[in-house]
Amino acid sequence: MNGAASGLMEALALALPGTDWDQIPYGGTSWFKYGGGGIAAWGSLCGVPNGCCAVLNLINLTSHTNSVMGYYCETSFPTSAVCDLYNQDPAGWVAAGLQVPIPDDQVLAHTIARSPLCHVSISKWCDAAGVNLTDVGPTGIPVKNDRCGKICADMAAFTAQLINGVAYGYVIPDATADCMVCHNASSPPGTPAQQGKMDCAYCHDGDAVIIAAKHPGTSGGGGPK
């Protein structure tokens, strides 16, 4: 959370000197350090979109938070963008004290989380990459950290684009929309009502304990995995 929020806040402070941004701490004393690991390692909302949305809230652009959540869920991460930036000036990158990224062609996996949860996002990537959270890669740091750092940078950059006026339209996937025909804010008890836009099928499938055996149909949930 801190990485994405601080990156955006430092950029805004640099762009708008002499404004209230001078009063807002970023980096080591950031207000947004609590969200890392989905808050206290609970694996709830990933800190990256949380930090991006926090900054959008500071500048009264909460209308863009839906786009942040959607982009996080449906983008194949990590992208090559950090590596591309590094490759423009490797010596300058190192001289600035920045962590060297793992080259994109050596990244072990690129995955689409289809969930805003840190728990789902990390587990899905670790499974695809064949690693755990502490396995170290060629740059001397855990490959998971290289992956999450790149997502942090990618999402902060995406949020910067939103701030700059670039539009992004998120559409709820058809399978989830189908579920919401019955499971919505006004559903009766037993259906039940629900709050959310998260991909239903990722958890509510035939193998998940969350789905009730009494649910109509074969395995419930539906939709592709």
Partner 1 sequence: MPEGKLISRRNFLKGGAGVVGAGALAAGFGAGSLLQPGRAHAALGYLPYTAIDVDLVRKLAWKHYFQSGG
Q: Which of 45, 70, 73, 101 binds partner 1 (CB under 8 A)?
A: 101
Applying CB under 8 A, does 78 fall inside the site for partner 1? no
Window of 27-35, 124-132, 171-179, 195-203 that interacts with partner 1 by CB under 8 A: 27-35
When asked if residue 152 is in the footprint of partner 1 (CB under 8 A), the reply is: yes
Residue 10 touching partner 1 (CB under 8 A): yes
Query: In this chain, which stretch among 102-110, 125-133, 158-166, 209-217 interacts with partner 1, using CB under 8 A?
Result: 158-166
CA 149/CA 142 separation, integer angstroms = 11
How far apart (Å, rounded) are the C-alpha atoms in residues 25 and 6? 8
Integer Cα distance of 94 and 92 in angstroms: 5
Residues near 203 by Cβ (< 8 Å), separated by ≥ 6? 210, 221
Please report how close the Cβ of residue 62 comes to partner 1 at its closest, in angstroms.
10
Q: Is 19 in the site for partner 1 (CB under 8 A)?
A: yes
Give how many residues touch partner 1 by CB under 8 A: 56
Spell out, one character per residue from 30 to 59, where the chain touches partner 1: x when CB under 8 A holds, - when not: x--x--xx---------xx---------xx
**Could you say whether residue 148 binds partner 1 (CB under 8 A)?**
yes
State the virtual CA torsion across 178, 182, 183, 186 in degrees, nearest 10: 130
Q: How many residues does the chain have?
A: 225
Contact by Cβ (8 Å): 118, 39 = no
DSSP state of 203: T
In the complex, the smallest distance separating the C-beta of residue 1 from partner 1, rounded to whole angstroms, is 7
Give the three-state DSSP class for 117.
strand
CA 29 from chain center: how many Å?
Answer: 22
Cβ atoms of 8 and 57 closer than 8 Å: no
List residues near partner 1 by CB under 8 A.
Answer: 1-4, 6-8, 10-12, 14-16, 19-21, 23-24, 26-28, 30, 33, 36-37, 47-48, 58-61, 81-82, 85, 96-99, 101, 141, 145, 148-150, 152-157, 159-161, 163-165
